[in-house]
């Protein structure tokens, strides 16, 4: 009987650890710099990750996002694309010093 409960206990422990670790992380984002007709001006996810790492911020996840706003399709205007990174809460001030802002989890798609 002891051995039959082991997988259940192991699964419950894993679920708890994943939930607990998520409480220590936040998402931050910053516009990637892409402009209409000039998408090559966008900062890549990897370049942003390297910039954060250089500032002492550990990145746990990353993705491209949007600010969710409607945009005019005119050359030279900001595209609304953002680079978002999942970091520890204690690193927020460092990320903010680089121009990143904290995101609500509902803004991550």
Instruction: Say how many C-beta atoms besides its own lie within 10 A of residue 52's C-beta.
Output: 23
Residue 27: per-residue pLDDT: 97
- Percent of the residues in the chain that have a pLDDT greater than 70, as a whole number: 76
In a domain, 61, yes or no: yes
* Residue 18 is assigned to a structural domain of this protein: no
Residue 45 lies in domain = 23-107
Q: Which of 7-16, 30-39, 47-56, 84-93 shows the lowest per-residue confidence on average (mean pLDDT)? A: 7-16
Distance CA 98, CA 42 (A): 16
The per-residue pLDDT for 7 is 60
Residue 8 pLDDT class (50, 70, 90 cuts): low
Domain assignment present for residue 67? The answer is yes
- Asked if the structure places residue 27 within a domain, the reply is yes
pLDDT at residue 57 above 90?
yes
Residue 1 maps to a domain: no
CATH number assigned to the domain comprising residue 28: 3.30.70
């Amino acid at each position: 009987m002891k051995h039959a409960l082991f997988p259940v206990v192991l699964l419950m422990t894993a679920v708890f650890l994943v939930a607990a670790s998520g409480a220590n992380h936040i998402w931050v984002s910053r516009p990637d710099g892409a402009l209409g007709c000039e998408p090559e001006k966008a900062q890549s996810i990897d370049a942003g990750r390297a910039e954060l790492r250089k500032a002492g911020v550990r990145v746990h996840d990353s993705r491209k996002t949007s600010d969710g706003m409607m945009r005019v399709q005119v050359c030279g205007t900001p595209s609304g694309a953002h680079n978002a990174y999942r970091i520890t809460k204690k690193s927020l001030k460092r990320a903010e010093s680089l121009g990143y802002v904290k995101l609500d989890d509902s803004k991550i798609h």
